[in-house]
Amino acid sequence: MRLKPPRRRRQSAAAKRAATKAGERAETASKRAATKQAAANRAAARRARRRRKPVSVYQPDGPRLPLPSAAAPPVTSALPITTAPAADPLVYAGAFGPEQAERLLWRAGFGPRPGEAERVAALGLREAVRRLVEPGPAVLTGPEPRVGAVALAPRDLDGHDHLWWLDRMVRSGDQLSERLALVFHDWFATSNADVAQRPLMLDQNELFRARCLGSFDALLSAVTTDPAMLVFLDGIANRKGGPNENYAREMLELFTLGADRGAYTEGDVREAARALTGWRADYVQGTGYVNFRFDTTRFDTTAKTIFGERGAFGWADVVRLALEHPYHRSFFVLKLWSAFVPSPPDAATQAALEERYVTSGRSIRAIVEAILLHPDLYGPQRMVKSPAVFAAGLLRALGTGIVTNAWVAAGAGAGQRLFYPPNVSGWNDNAWLDTSTLASRWLLVAEAVKPLTVKDNTGYSATETPEDALAAARRFWADPRLSPETAGVLARFSATTLPGTTTAADAANARGQRQNALRHLIAATPDGQTS
């Protein structure tokens, strides 16, 4: 017989509710107990951590274990290492004494005044460069320039513009800005031979001085709309229906991208010229061009295609497109570098400078600072001083000022009359010395030493030895550094230049003339002509 399972008793609804509540109470109690235990565990852990000694953690500048090598047994002990940061290969790390400070003062300015190289060397390289790129007010120190008894009138008198700027190179406390103003005068070469308005040229000169440590964007924009440039490269003749390509071509070729690099086409030049239309000025007889302005009726509003981009571009768009072009960064870095260092940078340096230029917002100062800190600036290669740099350095070394307009003719004869570059490409910095310019450099030295020439019958020593004579001549120029070859030639000259027999009076005068000759020769030597 088959047995049936016992019959289950049906649970009442009230019993079900009571059982559920009992389960919920038990679960809540369990959770509370677990939470309380977890809190107790955390508190115990905190107490244990406070009692525990700190564990040594690897720091980048602390002891480290080198990685095992397959060719060597495993390393089991820490090796001591220096805590000094790794040397930056783009920053000069050698001795920074008076010789290096003198190099810096010549490349970033117009040479040292007596004792200045020693003072700058005491600052150290980084501080010396920082003071150059963060200049204070451009205080002019020294005698006011003049021609005879007449004060300079650079806006009115021929040649006084050259003298005025040469004086600033000599007397300004902001040497780097003056040097960069010269760099950009050469970069955006504008000549008064074509502008024929000295006030416009002087205003452009102040533009270079004011913007030389800012962004290249701001500088190029200011130059593009500068009255002297608008006259020089026919911006005021560039109008809708009759475009003039002069500024567009030079802007791309000489100012931003470079020629023969494949950076732009003839079509880009033509389209950029149309985008640059709209500028005009009024001509006043006896005064020249005035009232420079943008006239929308002369602007070509139609679409242009430049570097493959299309739009109703204007002059500001041309500036932007040129500076954003991938070829611009290398052009800028290499051109600015060449103003300070005679040999091109290596690939790593160029890449680092290009990156810094872009990430800094195309900052001129950022690149100048990097160049002035770079080891190549302090290398063995020397640069020929341009005539203006050479002349200003002579006057700074002697602490004298401008008292004659002879500096204008001598500077022009040496190949550099300020405000008159030979063409839109500027001066050829590789052709400063030749048979036609060397004689004028000799005249520049003659003008510098003339006020301090030893005169006959003024009681000069009749017993000065050749060695003392050379030492005195070197002190006259604040003891410039001379190569052994140059010093040897000057020593032989000093020992052999006097006549064999002289009277007592002639002996003194002859030694005075020997001193004059030595002073002149020291400045005119290859060491004096280069930095």
Q: What is the average pLDDT score of the chain? A: 88
Q: Are 277 and 300 in contact (CB under 8 A)?
A: yes
Q: Evaluate the CA torsion angle 97, 401, 448, 188 in order and state its sign.
A: positive
* pLDDT tops 50 at residue 106: yes
- The strand pairing partners of 290, in sequence order, are 282
**Confidence band (pLDDT; 50, 70, 90) for 37?**
low
Q: What is the pLDDT of residue 505?
A: 75
Q: Cα(132)–Cα(365) distance, rounded to whole angstroms? A: 10
* pLDDT tops 70 at residue 52: no
Q: Cα(276)–Cα(243) distance, rounded to whole angstroms? A: 9
Of 531, 528, 516, the residue nearest 438 (C-alpha): 528
Of 150, 171, 169, the residue nearest 160 (C-alpha): 150
182-232 pLDDT, tens digit per residue, is: 999 999 999 999 999 999 999 999 999 999 999 999 999 999 999 999 999
Q: Cα(69)–Cα(108) distance, rounded to whole angstroms? A: 48
* pLDDT tops 60 at residue 76: no
Q: Which residue has the higher pLDDT, 143 or 45?
A: 143
Q: Cα(111)–Cα(107) distance, rounded to whole angstroms? A: 8
Q: How many CB atoms lie within 10 A of CB 447?
A: 20
428-485 pLDDT, tens digit per residue, is: 998 999 988 999 999 999 999 999 999 999 999 999 999 999 999 999 999 999 999 9
Share of the chain above pLDDT 70, in %: 84
Lowest mean pLDDT among 33-47, 172-186, 369-383: 33-47
* For range 320-344, the mean pLDDT: 98
**Confidence band (pLDDT; 50, 70, 90) for 41?**
low
How far apart, in Å, are the Cα atoms of 134 and each of 84, 130, 214? 28, 6, 11
Of 356, 327, 331, the residue nearest 344 (C-alpha): 331
Residue 341 φ then ψ, to 5°: -130, 135
Lowest mean pLDDT among 65-79, 316-330, 410-424, 498-512: 65-79
Q: Cα(531)–Cα(107) distance, rounded to whole angstroms? A: 7
* pLDDT tops 50 at residue 68: no
Q: Please give the DSSP secondary-structure letter assigned to residue 155.
A: T
Amino acid in position 441: R
Q: Cα(443)–Cα(436) distance, rounded to whole angstroms? A: 12
144-158 pLDDT, tens digit per residue, is: 999 999 999 999 999
* For range 373-378, the mean pLDDT: 98
Cα angle vertex 467, ends 380, 382, to 5°? Answer: 15
Q: Which two tokens stand for residue 453?
A: 């020439």
Q: Are 347 and 277 in contact (CB under 8 A)?
A: no
* For range 394-400, the mean pLDDT: 97
Q: What is the pLDDT of residue 30?
A: 55
Cα angle vertex 344, ends 121, 359, to 5°? Answer: 80
- pTM metric for this prediction: 0.83
Q: Cα(399)–Cα(393) distance, rounded to whole angstroms? A: 10
448-463 pLDDT, tens digit per residue, is: 999 999 999 999 999 9
* For range 316-345, the mean pLDDT: 98
Q: What is the pLDDT of residue 26?
A: 53
Q: Cα(102)–Cα(85) distance, rounded to whole angstroms? A: 28
Amino acid in position 87: A
- Pairing, β 304-306 against β 288-294: unpaired
Q: What is the pLDDT of residue 86?
A: 64
Q: What is the pLDDT of residue 274?
A: 98
488-529 pLDDT, tens digit per residue, is: 999 999 999 998 777 777 999 999 999 999 999 999 999 999
Q: Please give the DSSP secondary-structure letter assigned to residue 288.
A: E
